[in-house]
Amino acid sequence: MAKEKVILAYSGGLDTTAIIPWLKENYDFDVICCCIDVGQGNELDGLEQRAKYSGAEKLYILDVVDEFVDDYAIPCVKAGAVYENKYLLGTSMARPLIAKKLVEIARKEGATAICHGATGKGNDQVRFELGIKALAPDLKIIAPWRCTDTWKMKSREDEIEYCKQHNIDLPFDASHSYSRDRNLWHISHEGLELEDPKNAPNYDHLLVLGVSPEKAPDKETTLSLTFEKGAPVALNGKKMKASDILKELNKVGGENGIGIVDIVENRVVGMKSRGVYETPGGTILMAAHEQLEELILDRDTLAYKKGIGDKFADVVYEGKWFTPLREALQAFVESTQQYVTGEVKLKLYKGNIIKQGTTSPYSLYNESIASFTTGDLYDHHDAEGFINLFGLSLKVRAMMMQNKDK
């Protein structure tokens, strides 16, 4: 009789390597590893051999970089979705796509369960499992770090010893380093000195995608970004797909110390955590998109959209991508992007993004109205009546207070 199959969200790191023999030992499953490539670069090197030596029956490596950027990252750019005013949702926006692909492989393989290596303290367990529940409510979810009766390992040393006991000799040691998550949008860093908020980050040791502003070259870098309906379509006049634009912006942004954020954030599970995020390309895209919207969106829409962006960020952060609310919020955002088309020029300098001019065929900026010289569309005398009406409630209240004091 064939064994049941489990799909393991596999990164090739120590945790998911140790999970393979643990699943076989405690569940007698055939383990199908699945690595979702969202742009984590050389972290994928050697995965196939590692999974095989650890006891996996099969390994899938799925390249979903373009889908990640087009269908998850760019909608967040259009929404202006920033969690707690700083975090550009790099890990958050990738998790629902990973969950979606795990479900697809589970259906293809006829698996009965999906396993992930997220801990019981973090956000990722929530994001993975909400995505799986929304797409495949019949599949069992296994989270080893919450299985405290059978998952006895509490440290890297324990995991390495467990692997040795199962004849898995892999190139891991017990030395501690930052806990990182990387994709094409960003890289996050947690642990070591960052665990105490009183400590400054050791940027010389920590940074991966670029340098600190202090180490950036003492020269300016100028660039232009072209958007169509809110999505980036060209960099410096060259038409490119969004993922290639992001790759180029990561390079130039990293070189100029752009997009480094040190934040203490509120996790979904109720605790605060401190992390440093590098998001060079995403930070530039967000700034350029915002600069273009300033020129195009009317006052009421722009103001209301800011609240929608905050809510969109909360929904994504909490792992609620596959929900009617996210779909409705995104539908509103898309309706605001119909005319967000134009070119944005920027200058990068030592961590700063400096405006260099914006043009759009749909600009609402009218020089005849805005100029200090009187134009045909604005009569200064009209302002007097407007101010009288706009301030009427203030004047009535002030009169009442005067009479009361008498």
Has 124 been annotated as catalytic? yes
Has 179 been annotated as catalytic? yes
Residues 258 and 379 both lie in one domain: no
According to the model, what pLDDT value does residue 360 have? 97
Phi and psi at residue 299, to the nearest 5°: -60, -50
Q: Specify the pTM.
A: 0.94
Q: Which of these, 130, 163, 184, 182, lies nearest to 317 by C-alpha position?
A: 130
- Catalytic-labelled residue, pool 11, 124, 188, 360: 124
- Packing angle between helix 324-336 and helix 299-317, nearest 10 degrees? 150
Residues 110 and 244 both lie in one domain: no
Residues 155 and 74 both lie in one domain: yes
Residue 92 counted as domain residue: yes
What is d(CA 364, CA 250) in angstroms, rounded to the nearest whole number? 31
- Catalytic-labelled residue, pool 66, 156, 179, 267: 179
What is d(CA 121, CA 154) in angstroms, rounded to the nearest whole number? 13
Residues 54 and 157 both lie in one domain: yes
Residues 348 and 398 both lie in one domain: no
Which of 165, 189, 214 finishes a domain?
165
Residues 69 and 212 both lie in one domain: no
- Catalytic-labelled residue, pool 11, 37, 54, 95: 95
- Catalytic-labelled residue, pool 15, 30, 37, 181: 15
For residue 263, the enclosing domain spans: 179-297+340-359
pLDDT in tens, the chain (406 residues): 689 999 999 998 889 999 999 999 999 999 999 999 999 988 788 888 889 889 999 999 999 999 999 999 999 999 999 999 999 999 999 999 999 999 999 999 999 999 999 999 999 999 999 999 999 999 999 999 999 999 999 888 899 899 999 988 777 776 768 899 999 999 999 999 999 999 999 999 999 999 999 999 999 999 999 999 999 999 999 999 999 999 999 999 999 999 999 999 999 999 999 999 999 999 999 999 999 999 999 999 999 999 999 999 999 999 999 999 999 999 999 999 999 999 999 999 999 999 999 999 999 998 767 666 656 677 888 899 999 999 999 999 999 999 987 7
According to the model, what pLDDT value does residue 169 have? 78
Residues 49 and 158 both lie in one domain: yes
Residue 349 counted as domain residue: yes
Q: Which of these, 118, 70, 92, 122, lies nearest to 320 by C-alpha position?
A: 92
| DSSP class per residue in 151-201 | ----SHHHHHHHHHHTT---S--S----EEEE-SS-EEEESGGGGSTTSPP
Residue 303 counted as domain residue: no
Has 95 been annotated as catalytic? yes
Residue 195 counted as domain residue: yes
What is d(CA 216, CA 195) in angstroms, rounded to the nearest whole number? 26
Residue 140 counted as domain residue: yes
Residues 231 and 289 both lie in one domain: yes
Residues 21 and 64 both lie in one domain: yes
Residues 160 and 268 both lie in one domain: no
According to the model, what pLDDT value does residue 177 have? 83
Residue 248 counted as domain residue: yes
Number of domains in the chain: 3
Residue 101 counted as domain residue: yes
Residues 115 and 157 both lie in one domain: yes
Residues 158 and 221 both lie in one domain: no
Residue 395 counted as domain residue: yes
Any idea what the CATH number is for the domain that residue 108 is in?
A: 3.40.50.620
HEC profile of 274-313: EEEEECHHHHHHHHHHHHHHHHHCCHHHHHHHHHHHHHHH
Any idea what the CATH number is for the domain that residue 275 is in?
A: 3.90.1260.10
